[in-house]
Chain A
Amino acid sequence: MSAAEFTLFLEAAVRLGIPLALAALGETISERSGVINIGLEGSIIAGALGGALGALAFQSAGMGVMTGAMAGCAVALVFAAFVIGLGADQIITGTAVTLGGLGMTGAIYQARFGATGTELSLPTLQALPIPVLDRIPLVGSALFAQAPTAYLAYALAPALWYFLFRTPWGLELRAVGEAPDAAKAAGVKVRWIRFFATLTGGILAGVAGAHLTLAHAGTFAEGMSAGKGFIAIAVVVLGRWNPILVLFAALFFGAASALQFFLQALGLDLPYQLFLALPYVLTLAALSGWVGRARAPAALALPWESE
């Protein structure tokens, strides 16, 4: 691989990794509070459609990101209402929310634009090169000539790390995810923290969805989230619930996905469909090997009720 090819590869890896990073960073916060949101996929697809509709209505990609975030948050609100409000099972509720999100966005899209899958002409998020940094040899243009949502992910990873491990609120949030009863005894509002952590996850998943339509595809397609919500959850495990590692894990997955373009460009005639499966296989391998017995938050996926 030449230097120019490597730069292109890295650029594709970052482009494909960013939506995963955004969703996985949000999921990290929610899982640290003890809530595993399998409905993330629903938030992402809602963010994708919400972003498209908002960008069309306001003729602004920036507004699209805002409406996408709101749509993702709305889906997470349904999830939170059942999981935190009613104490329902997180896995099953999440599955329902994903099914509902995919169905609802498909129905709204078909009702609004017809069943044929019209290409929308959306205002898109343009790449925003950062002066000086984008000139760094090899990696500069790949990392620092991306859509603004990429910089959001770069900034969020250390910020969330600082929040989780260096602030009293972060400590409370982690306590809620490890030992909710003890946290409650210490006066921490367990439900509210889980509620806000889950909504944060939904907002970031919505931004990830908006990134898919506004920075990536330039249009909406039914089911375009294509399992990214589930991969983001695997990315959180890969990143050991640590925001900075999660960012790198998302980029690793992006690189695995980008590999197909480059092996094809190198003239290796390997079947396209197997390349599509590769990132999932690599993630399984990484989960069973590298992660080993990395420990999830102790109260993850357990419903909690105050006595």
Chain B
Amino acid sequence: MVQVRDGPRVRARESILIAIGAVVVTALAGAALLLAGGYDPLAAAGAMLRGAFGSWGAFTSITLVRSVPLILAGLAVALAFQAGVWNIGAEGQLYAGAIAAVWVGLVGGALPGVVLVPLVLLAALGAGCLWAVVPTVMRVRLGVGEVITTILMNFVGIYLAAYMVHGPLQEARGVFPQTDAIAEAARLPKLLPGSRLHLGFAIAVVLAVTLAMVLSRSRVGFQIRAVGASEAAARVSGQIDTRRVLVGTFLLSGAIAGLAGGVEVSGLTYALYENLSPGWGYTAIAVALLAGLNPLGVLVTGVLFGALQAGAGAMQRDAGIPAAWVGVVEALVILAVLGLDRVRRLRGEGA
């Protein structure tokens, strides 16, 4: 999908065209499926738009808040895919980050916020990175593909979180399978007064801009893209230590996905519970692909998918359409991107 030979600007323009096309195709295909199911697509779209963008409060407190973990996990996936690392494990890495963040937030209550918040986020980064170590080693040392291993690690992460909230980290009352709320000092400040939007959104924006700069302007960024375009070519060029690039990118991707879990916990939920993530790690793949693996694009597509999730609730309430429908829309988006990308390549070859 990623080609080094095109200039970044050409690729950006094509990616935007593909993304817009994919959204249109998805809307049409989704409407057709809804009609076939006996629903009113216009009512569905109306309910969804009202739920996601209907008011400033809905936009900031629901849509943007929902988009934070999607942007962060989307950045993790985009970075890995750029290097040709098929990290399907953002979900597990996210849970690892959330567990570590909650733990630090619970035990570090005596520390002041300026110390504790960075510690919480560092713990999340570290745990996410740690969660990527096993698949990384298995790929680089043993030649076992990372698709399967990252997916297996997802299940281990989800069950580990379930164990934590039933066992060692369960709330003091011992009633519900959840942790106690983390210390006040471990919580991310709110960005806007009266809104649920927290500092995590700003972190996501800064990280996206940083990654975009690194990928497009720096030597490391070029190496990552070169390995992603062709690992063999990058290796025989003799100028790139492909193994180091693979390992570094894989671990950094895991760390960013872990951060997504930590930010969610310290910015919004303040506690860990089972099913914290409704599959953000998988949705992140759609987010990253629709963005053409471009970190700045991920900001836009992350908000778009945040809106989709925010609107799904309203759609179920007002138009009677099951919220599970969101999964279908995500699938349609990915398939539309793949289809349009194929059309682009065919036209490129013809020209």
Residues of A within 8 A of B (CB): 36, 38, 78, 82, 86-89, 91-93, 95-111, 115, 222, 227, 230-231, 233-234, 237, 271-274, 276-277, 280-281, 283-284, 287-288, 291-293, 296
A115:B322 contact, CB within 8 angstroms: yes
User: Quick one: which of A95, A106, A222 contacts B282, CB cutoff 8 A?
Assistant: A95
User: Quick one: which of A111, A234, A271 contacts B167, CB cutoff 8 A?
Assistant: A271
Which of B109-117, B258-266, B334-342 lies at the interface?
Answer: B334-342
Minimum distance in angstroms from A164 CB to a CB of chain B: 21
The DSSP consensus for interface residues of chain A is helix
Indicate the member of B86, B167, B338, B339 with the most A CB atoms within 10 Å. Answer: B338
A287:B147 contact, CB within 8 angstroms: no
Minimum distance in angstroms from A147 CB to a CB of chain B: 26
* Supplied contacts A96-B286, A100-B332, A280-B156, 13 more A-B pairs, CB within 8 Å: A88-B341, A89-B338, A93-B335, A95-B285, A100-B327, A100-B335, A103-B329, A111-B37, A237-B148, A271-B163, A271-B167, A272-B166, A274-B163
Within 8 A of A (CB), among B290-320: 316
Residues of B within 8 A of A274 (CB): 159-160, 163
B163:A92 contact, CB within 8 angstroms: no
**Is B153's beta carbon under 8 Å from chain A?**
yes
B324:A107 contact, CB within 8 angstroms: yes
User: Quick one: which of A102, A108, A227, A291 contacts B151, CB cutoff 8 A?
Assistant: A227
Interface residues on B, range: 35 or more
Residues of A within 8 A of B160 (CB): 273-274, 277
**Is B331's beta carbon under 8 Å from chain A?**
yes
Q: Which residue of B lies closest to A276 (CB)?
A: B159
A233:B148 contact, CB within 8 angstroms: yes
A287:B138 contact, CB within 8 angstroms: yes
A86:B342 contact, CB within 8 angstroms: yes
Residues of B within 8 A of A277 (CB): 155-156, 159-160, 163
Residues of B within 8 A of A91 (CB): 86, 88, 147
Q: Which residue of A lies closest to B321 (CB)?
A: A107
Residues of A within 8 A of B279 (CB): 99
